[in-house]
Amino acid sequence: MRLIPSALQAVVLLCCVISIRIGHAQEVANSMTATAANHVESEVCMACHPAYFEQMRTDKHGQAADERTPFARKGCDTCHGPGSSHVAGGGGHDVGGLTVFGEGVRTPATEQNRVCLQCHQAGQRMRWQGSQHEAEGLACSSCHMVHQRNLALDRQTQAQVCFRCHRDIRAFSYRSYGHPLRDHKVVCGDCHNPHGSTTSALLKHDSANDICYSCHAEKRGPFLWEHPPVVEDCTLCHSPHGSMHPGDLIARPPQLCQRCHATSDIGQAHVRQPFSFDNSGPGTATSRFVLAGSCLNCHSQIHGSNHPSGVDFMR
């Protein structure tokens, strides 16, 4: 009977020891936080980082007169965190527990993004959480730069930022036909939202067709006679990033048209013998069916027709 109270006393004593140690650990952590939580003025940062400080004077983030900017609040510390420990430690890349932005740094991408999303959460960035780029572990600083020229926002350099990862698209842009990506008349951001979208290709609209219609409104319709592939998806026939065929087509007609029409009697009669100029036999093709525009020599309104007799897209 005497063993039970002794065991209880031991348990109580152990709990007290654990509680004391936890309390001590918390006090140490709080004291460290209090030590590192001291704010320093931006002028102190300028002593070691004059180039960054001068650049911030011309950047929208560094306008202290605008209450919406980081510099109007706590200057450099607004984004990088309290800098007293960094200063007391003599500076250095990983000294003082500052939030550092960029690739290959100690600060995780999620922590970097958390700082940016404190201000940049609305608008096109509403779907960043769960987006393809967020899932790949990209940080805002992977594409954007604050202390240097922001290449991702400049139409002259935006494609260079995207091409660092999307090298296949860069290769497409060097093909003979395509949108003028290399001339900077069309940029990636005109069609895609890199911060997140409801589509798998990060399109700015709900479908590829809606993107195309923003420039090619004459193809929108509705038409009296509609071509089913056109209504479904423009990319069934066109390669928007670049192509070896005129019109950004994925193949030249009649081969492109044959993907759907080769098995019909009409399709076979038109293109079964594409290099035959003999019209005497059944199923032979004449030159107007296969040369130059091929199928488009006759079916010129291939995107749709409003003519009462345009069922074959010839008017």
- Domain boundary assignment for the chain: 109-212, 218-297
Contact residues for 156 (Cβ-Cβ < 8 A; gap 6+)? 184
Return the bridge partners of 37, or none. Answer: none
Q: Give the pLDDT band of residue 8 (cuts 50, 70, 90).
A: low
CA distance readout (Å), 314 to 77, 223, 291, 304:
67, 14, 17, 9
Give the pLDDT mean for 60-87: 90
The reported pLDDT for the residue numbered 29 is 43
The percent of the chain in helix, strand and coil, each rounded to the nearest 5, is 45, 5, 50
* Residue 203 in tokens: 């399109």
The reported pLDDT for the residue numbered 55 is 87
Give the pLDDT mean for 210-239: 94
CA atoms within 13 A on the CB side of 270: 22
Q: Give the pLDDT band of residue 274 (cuts 50, 70, 90).
A: very low
Q: Give the pLDDT band of residue 15 (cuts 50, 70, 90).
A: low
The reported pLDDT for the residue numbered 315 is 84
The reported pLDDT for the residue numbered 290 is 66
Q: Is the entire prediction scored with pTM above 0.95?
A: no
Give the pLDDT mean for 181-198: 94
The reported pLDDT for the residue numbered 288 is 59
Burial of 217 (0-12, 13-18, 19+ CB in 10 A): exposed
| Alpha helices, H only, 106-254 | 109-117, 132-135, 158-163, 167-173, 208-213, 228-232
The reported pLDDT for the residue numbered 32 is 45
Give the pLDDT mean for 110-134: 91
Nearest to 241 by CA among 151, 132, 166: 166
Exposure string for 24-43, b = 16+ CB within 10 A, e = fewer: eeeeeeeeeeeebeeebebe
pLDDT for residue 128 is more than 70: yes
pLDDT for residue 232 is more than 70: yes
Range of weakest confidence among 103-107, 126-130, 169-173, 236-240: 103-107
CA distance readout (Å), 11 to 15, 18, 23, 212:
6, 11, 18, 73
Query: Residues 240, 178: contact at Cβ < 8 Å?
Result: yes
Q: Give the pLDDT band of residue 12 (cuts 50, 70, 90).
A: low
Q: Give the pLDDT band of residue 295 (cuts 50, 70, 90).
A: confident
